[in-house]
Structure 1
Amino acid sequence: MNVIYLDKEYLTDEHYALALGFFDGLHQGHLALVDEVKKIADEKHLKSAIMTFDRHPLSLLKNEKCQSLISSNDRIELLADMGIDTLFVIRFTMDVAKLSPQAFIDQYLKHVDHLVVGFDFHFGHKNKGDVSSLSHQHFEVSVIAPIMYDEKRKVSSTLIKELLTSGNVEEANRLLTRPFSIRGEVVHGKKRGRTIGYPTANVDFDSYYVIRRGVYGVRVKLNDSVYYGMGNVGINPTFNELSNDLLEVHIFDLDEDLYGKTIKVEFIKFIRDEKTFSNIEELKLQLKKDEEQIKKTLTITKYSI
């Protein structure tokens, strides 16, 4: 897949079927747009493309810390796996934010023959542009209806975050069509786990959405190998040593120095909430129970997602 970062208009002789949006999560709702783009590109002999931004607009416009379901690199990898030809990434600046809907179209959509958007799509200065703004342009438009979760709620990144906050990882994974995951470099921690027989690989959440604190059954990908383990999300209250949430992963059947290496941790099953233990022995006993429960659970579910 060709990845093109846009600071201004892009000059090319190619013609595209293109979906436009932020695509935080690439969940069922977003995949409906991706599938439509691929179908139209095939029917009309166009290049398939996605256009998005390098950061969430609110992170600039309102200085909000935006936690995402996927990173920029995740998005690139997933779209490439889906067979998209080109990903356009607009570098979002105040100048871009000030573009009127028509100016945005003129600057970024010159080579689009067919545009695909969601029913609630908004764009341009102060989100003044909507689906009606796309009529009478040089391209055809397909507006995709929402994928509904129930009678009142559509599948959305907000809904998936709510599920992850409640600990309902399996339902969140179903809407994502893959396990919620965090990819990051293994960093040095306090090395407490090693002293009690449960060494952990520690990964900072960085810009990922911080899910419910607690213990999870996880799948870990390192290079071309796949392992299973138990992950803890939280601040390790028994030792009271952390000020920010950290992901600590004890990987089954792996004894290797992982510092500085990048791993991908997929969350499969929520086991229990994080809790404070009165002593080390009580903690070790609980970790043993967690390990037994997770191994039993993953034996059942590891091929189901």
Structure 2
Amino acid sequence: MKNFLSMSKSLEYSSVAIGKFDGVHIAHKKLFKYLDDNSCVLVIHKSHSKFLTPLKIREKLISKPSYKLPFKDIHSWDGERFADFLDKKLPNLKRIVVGYDFRFGKDKSYGADDLKSLFKAEVLIVPEIKIENLPLHSSIIRELIGFGDIKLANKLLGRNYSLEGGVICGQNLGSKELYPTINIKTQSFVLPGNGVYASFTHFKSRVFPSVSFVGNRLSTDRHFSIETHILDKNIELEEKTIQIEFVDKIRDNRHFENLSELKHQISLDIKNAKDILNT
């Protein structure tokens, strides 16, 4: 995603949406519908955060041209400076679209309503959206994912939550004693609560039904791991990065007395995953 601040020329867009857009969830997509055909999206980006969707994924999910607006460079600006900046960068701007809770400027002292007095352009403020009586915010979705309520989180996202990670070596125990798994290490993503999930695993430009685990391996070495077992497939993996898409939680993480008990439980997890995924 290109840095909006470094764009040397004025851009000819007539409408713009501004916000963090982490998650690119249902409320964000509704906001984008108010943009015209000649529009762009400014993504206010804070570095060193745990994201629902890192920038490279956000760019794929946003249907309009999108640009990064680093928070560290603009957080101390007053409202007038922010308005002057947008006027110069987007001289043909006729509409600004933001959510009702949009804040900007030094100490976040300016709100969405302040935009109306600062800009000659039309300012459209999209009201709050609720699903199952929950306000649709990225922070709420983060909490749901962290609690393991992935099904409700997916409903608010409007898609299944997914994360990417680099493939790493595991214990080599699964293929010998249990079920073979692909182990990954990931950074910057919000992690689902510890447990076992019905999932889809993406690699080789294909999607495979799977059962995935997040948490400490309580029955073996107690180390934290993220691993996925591909259902009914023997996979020779050459990819360095894979994506896991979480559909629904099957059970919490727990300790088993021996590998035989653990293997039996995994077989039940696989059956449940197949039922959930309709495979």
1:263 matched to 2:246: no
Deviations 1:108-136 (A, max 9, x none): 45313210001111101110111232124
Instruction: Provide the rounded CA distance (Å) in 1 between the counterparts of 2:262 and 2:104.
Output: 51
How far apart are the structure 1 equivalents of 2:39 and 2:230?
39
Check if 1:53 corresponds to 2:32.
no
> What is the aligned partner in structure 1 of residue 61 from structure 2?
78
Counterpart among 74, 78, 82 of residue 104 in structure 1: 82
Deviations 1:137-160 (A, max 9, x none): 132110001111355x41111222
Cα deviation for residue 92 of structure 1 reads: 3.3
- What amino acid is the match of 2:177? I
In the alignment, the residues of structure 2 paired with residue 10 and residue 262 of structure 1 have an alpha-carbon distance, to the nearest angstrom, of 34
Distance 1:260 1:226, change over 3 A: closer
The alignment partner of 1:276 has SS state of coil
TM-score by length of 2: 0.91
Does 1:134 pair with 2:115?
A: yes
Aligned partners of 1:222 and 1:260: how far apart in 2? 7
**Root-mean-square deviation over aligned CA pairs:** 2.0
Counterparts of 1:261 and 1:9, CA distance in 2: 33
Aligned to 2:259: 280
Question: How many positions carry a matched residue from both structures?
Answer: 275
> Structure 2 CA distance, aligned partners of 1:23 and 1:13?
21
Distance across 1 between alignment mates of 2:269 and 2:132: 33
Paired amino acid for 2:41: I
Query: Counterpart of 1:271 in 2: which secondary structure?
Result: strand
- Name the CA distance, whole Å, in 2 between partners of 1:96 and 1:127: 11
Provide, for residues 152-204 of structure 1, a one-character-per-residue CA deviation record: whole Å limited to 9, x for no partner.
x4111122223223332222111111101112221222222122241111122
Structure 1 or 2: more strand by fraction: 2
Q: C-alpha offsets along residues 274-304 of structure 1, whole Å, 9 cap, x if unaligned? A: 11111111111111111112112211xx7xx
Task: Give me the identity figure in percent.
Answer: 28
- For residues 55-92 of structure 1, the C-alpha deviation after alignment (integer angstroms, 9 at most, x for no partner) is 35xx5xxxxxx32211211101111xxx31x1111233
Unaligned runs of 5+ in 1: 60-65
Checking the alignment, whether the CA contact within 8 Å between 1:188 and 1:259 is kept in structure 2 is no
What TM-score, normalized to structure 1? 0.83
On the 8 A contact 2:100/2:125 being kept in 1, the answer is yes
Question: Contact 1:8 / 1:107 at 8 angstroms: preserved in 2?
Answer: no
> Following the alignment from structure 2 to structure 1, what is the Cα–Cα distance between the partners of residues 238 and 167?
5
Aligned residue type for 1:206: Q
113, 119, 128: which is aligned to 2:94? Answer: 113
Question: After the TM superposition, which segments of 4 or more aligned residues of structure 1 sit over 6 Å from their partners?
Answer: none
Is the CA contact 1:169–1:270 (under 8 Å) kept in the aligned structure 2? yes
Q: Can you give the 5+ residue segments of structure 2 that lack an aligned partner in the other structure?
A: none
Alignment partners' CA distance in 2, 1:273 and 1:91? 38
Residue number in structure 2 paired with 1:146: 128
Summarize deviations over 1:186-244 as a string: whole Å, max 9, x none. 122222212224111112231111111100110112132111011000011111342xx
Quote the Cα distance in structure 2 between the aligned partners of 1:74 and 1:246.
Answer: 23
Over 3 Å counting, the alpha-carbon distance change for 1:157 and 1:272 in structure 2 is: same
- Residue identity matched to 1:52: V
Select the residue among 57, 60, 68 that pairs with 1:89. 68
Q: Flag the 1:10–1:35 CA change in 2: closer, same or farther, 3 A.
A: farther
